[in-house]
Structure 1
Amino acid sequence: MAYVDVDGSSGSGEDLNMLDGHKLHPVLPSGSGGGRKRSRKANGDAIVDAMLEIAAASKMRASAILKSEDRFSISKCIKVLDELQGVDERAYFLALDLFENSSSAREIFISLKGDKRLPWLLGKCVGVPSS
């Protein structure tokens, strides 16, 4: 806030806004008063707009995550697993355990080309003790 020297003759010493014997009065920026309300409203509108944009972006991100999770869901993996030829019962049930315990394994399985899925899956089953 700026101050302007208004009255240099005040010598009472009681005024708190004194500088070298000169009385100081605050100077308000131009457009103050009624403009201040408009400025606050404009700032408030800008904040509301920004918050709405953040909310919309958050919804879009959540939607994208859900679509991604749905793409690599256990049910999707089972559907693809059921379509594979040459999967024996042991490998089938080990695959179900793998899909249940690892979202990254589900993503890899679905992302692999069809002819690579069974060899990858059987490789995961190697060394797993049979029940």
Structure 2
Amino acid sequence: MAYVDEDGSSDTGEDLNMLDGHKRHPVNVVPSGSSGRKRSRKATGDAIVNAMLEIASTSKMRASAILKNEDRFSISKCIKVLDELQGVDERVYFHALDLFENNSSAREIFVSLKSDKRLPWLQGKCGVVPFR
């Protein structure tokens, strides 16, 4: 047990009597390696671990969504949709393949268009005037 003088200085000892004219009072001293501090560090560590797990989970979900989106507008998907179109001449067909190879935005536009708008859009990209 430690003792504190009325003037604020501390001393250790067992005697509560007056020493040097100062009355001494018992003081609770918390050791430097207290369990409160350890609990605080553990709680902080747990919070950091939980935050990192949340970031990892969010990152995995985002990556999955990106891959799903890429699959939806993949070159093979565009070719499948292109093959289903009626009236596509060979020149437009091969130009579309080149367009899809180098331009993910064009793939997304093509697949997202209504089916009756796809051929005129491709023909416009190829510089071909559609027949009416």
Q: Which bracket does the TM-score occupy, shorter chain normalised? A: 0.7 to 0.9
Name the structure 2 match of 1:83: 84
Name the structure 2 match of 1:71: 72
- What are the within-5 Å matches in structure 2 for residues 51-62 of structure 1? 51-62=52-63
Matched, 1:123 2:124: yes
Distance in 2, Cα, partners of 1:53 & 1:120: 43
- What are the within-5 Å matches in structure 2 for residues 95-114 of structure 1? 95-114=96-115
The number of equivalent residue pairs is 102
Displacement after TM superposition at 1:53 (Å): 0.3
Displacement after TM superposition at 1:119 (Å): 0.3
Gaps of at least 5 residues in structure 1 are: 9-27
Please state whether the residue corresponding to 1:85 is helix, strand or coil: coil
Give the aligned CA root-mean-square deviation in angstroms.
1.9
Distance in 1, Cα, partners of 2:77 & 2:39: 55
Distance in 2, Cα, partners of 1:65 & 1:101: 18
Name the structure 1 match of 2:3: none
Aligned amino acid, residue 57 of structure 1: T
Distance in 1, Cα, partners of 2:9 & 2:83: 93
Distance in 2, Cα, partners of 1:94 & 1:81: 11
Distance in 2, Cα, partners of 1:77 & 1:122: 15
Name the structure 1 match of 2:9: 7
Runs (4+) of structure 1 exceeding 4 A deviation are none
Displacement after TM superposition at 1:6 (Å): 1.8
Instruction: Select the structure of larger CA radius of gyration.
Output: 2
Aligned amino acid, residue 7 of structure 1: S
Distance in 1, Cα, partners of 2:108 & 2:38: 54
Gaps of at least 5 residues in structure 2 are: 1-6, 11-28
Please state whether the residue corresponding to 1:6 is helix, strand or coil: coil
Distance in 2, Cα, partners of 1:49 & 1:7: 44
Displacement after TM superposition at 1:7 (Å): 2.7
